Amino acid sequence: MARQLDVSLGERSYPIHVGSGVLALAGDLALQAGARRAIVITNATVAAHWLAPLRASIASAGLGCDVVLVPDGEAHKSLATLNDVVTRLLELRAERGSLLVALGGGVIGDLCGFAAGVYQRGTPFMQVPTTLLAQVDSSVGGKTAVNHPLGKNMIGVFWQPRSVLVDTQCLRTLPDRELGAGIAEIIKYGAIRDREFFDWLERSIDSLVARDASALEHAIVRSCQIKADIVARDERETGERALLNFGHTFGHAIETATGYSQWLHGEAIAIGMVLASRLSSLVAGLSVADAGRIEALIARARLPVAPPAMTIDRWVDLMSHDKKVQAGVIRFILLEGIGQALVRTGVPRDVLERVVERADSRSNESLPRS
């Protein structure tokens, strides 16, 4: 049975539908959005599995459907690919009455959402996330962006979707590494906001890794509830929404350093959460035992816990390009306790060096899996 959650943003409010088979709702939701046609943005890998049922739903609503294919992978989340997407929209004579549909993971969602936000100064779009990470995180909240060689997600717009369709059947074709990347973001929600959920994750992590349908749906719904609640109070990330970036300051630095090619986003964030937890135990009051619980849970999810070796100067340089930097000062999302996050500035360089030096000594323990 499908669950519906709502992101409450006044006239920009929209539903999140979660359940097995909700892809069939796409056509009706497109009509509700006032669409006269649909343009699906996806990649060949996802299209092979999920484009046909999506197109069937759209066709059942009496709408035409075009498809724009983009390359697969974080390395292609770029201005060059965005330009290719916009060029295809122009060639297809897309109008504001055209509904863009993001069918894929976070890269597809960001590219489609960004294109929708800037094409003809704003075109409606729908999120149909097919990876666990996109289902619990990037498809909700309207943050869209592309990467730059100097920084992750530095070029983008806030543009909310008209609806989000989280079909849990899509996880059947998801590779194990991609599943783990999504579990990392689920762990984040428990760490920053809900200690009881974190406790449940410790009890249920083996079921999640084994793709138990009931466990996955519960984790997806609770994660979306937490994010929707935060986004409703802070849409443009002027305050509380920054807490959703726990682990991201370190994680984005890792992704930038490795050219967005070595680690999946969720894997980099997993490492980032381990580092942020260690830093939290030094400067924010998180107990060493709770920092250890976070690291142990991440390891049980078969995620990496140690980053590539880098000098402290390299770490600081990369993190200084993070979106959360204010007046040249790096801001970290840290934990006072599990379920209690805060923003912290003024972390002494020598303390930061202790955290990353300890990580460097273990950098060969968790290389990406093939």
- The predicted model gives 301-321 an average pLDDT of 92
Q: How high is the pLDDT of residue 367?
A: 44
Asked whether the beta carbons of 191 and 281 are under 8 A apart, the reply is: no
pLDDT of residue 359: 63
CB atoms within 10 A of CB 1: 5
| Residue 338 tokens, joined | 């599990």
Residue 350: pLDDT band by 50, 70, 90 thresholds?
Answer: very high
Q: Is the pLDDT confidence value at 344 over 50?
A: yes
For position 369, what pLDDT does the model report? 46
Around Cβ 330, how many Cβ atoms within 10 Å? 19
Q: What is the dihedral of CA 120, 123, 127, 131, to 10 degrees?
A: 0
> With bands split at pLDDT 50, 70 and 90, how would you rate the model's confidence at 322?
confident
Measured CA to CA, the distance from residue 321 to residue 310 in angstroms comes to 16
Q: Using one digit for the tens of pLDDT, what is the confidence trace for 33-92?
A: 999 999 999 999 999 999 999 999 999 999 999 999 999 989 899 999 999 999 999 999
Instruction: Please count the other Cβ atoms lying within 10 Å of the Cβ belonging to residue 349.
Output: 11
Is the pLDDT at 332 greater than 90, yes or no? yes
140-151 CB burial, b ≥16 within 10 A, e <16: bbbbbbbbeeeb
pLDDT exceeds 80 at position 343: yes
pLDDT in tens, 109-126: 999 999 999 999 999 999
Percent of the chain with pLDDT over 90: 88
> For 231-279, how does the pLDDT look when each residue is reduced to its tens digit (9 = 90+)?
999 999 989 999 999 999 999 999 999 888 889 999 999 999 999 999 9
User: HEC profile for the chain?
Assistant: CCEEEEECCHHHCEEEEEECCHHHHHHHHHHHCCCCEEEEEECHHHHHHHHHHHHHHHHHCCCEEEEEECCCCHHHCCHHHHHHHHHHHHHCCCCCCEEEEEEECHHHHHHHHHHHHHHHHCCCEEEEECCHHHHHHHCCCCEEEEEECCEEEEEEEECCCCEEEEEHHHHHHCCHHHHHHHHHHHHHHHHHHCHHHHHHHHHHHHHHHCCCHHHHHHHHHHHHHHHHHHHHHCCCCCCHHHHHHCCHHHHHHHHHHCCCCCCCHHHHHHHHHHHHHHHHHHHCCCCHHHHHHHHHHHHHCCCCCCCCCCCHHHHHHHHCCCCCCECCECCEEEEEECCEEEEECCCCHHHHHHHHHHHHCCCCCCCCCC
In the chain, the amino acid numbered 324 is: K
What's the number of CA atoms in the CB half-sphere (13 Å) around residue 119?
A: 29
Reported as a pLDDT band with limits 50, 70 and 90, residue 364 is: very low
Instruction: Check whether 363 has a pLDDT greater than 70.
Output: no
Largest alpha-carbon pair distance within the chain? Answer: 63
**Which domains are seen in the chain, by residue range?**
3-173 (3.40.50.1970), 176-360 (1.20.1090.10)
Catalytic residue annotation: 121, 143, 185, 227, 237, 241, 245, 248, 252, 265
Beta carbons of 356 and 274 less than 8 angstroms apart: no
Per cent of the chain over pLDDT 70 is 96
> Does position 195 have pLDDT exceeding 60, yes or no?
yes
Which pLDDT does position 360 carry in this prediction?
A: 58
Q: Say whether pLDDT at 366 is over 80.
A: no
Q: How high is the pLDDT of residue 370?
A: 38
Token reading at 191: 């760490």
Other CB atoms closer than 10 Å to residue 54's CB: what's the count?
Answer: 27
pLDDT value of residue 365: 45
Closest to 158 measured CA to CA, from 125, 190, 207, 203: 125
Mean pLDDT of the chain: 94
Say yes or no to pLDDT of 349 above 60.
yes
Lowest mean pLDDT among 3-7, 257-261, 359-363: 359-363
Chain segment 261-274, per-residue pLDDT in tens: 889 999 999 999 99
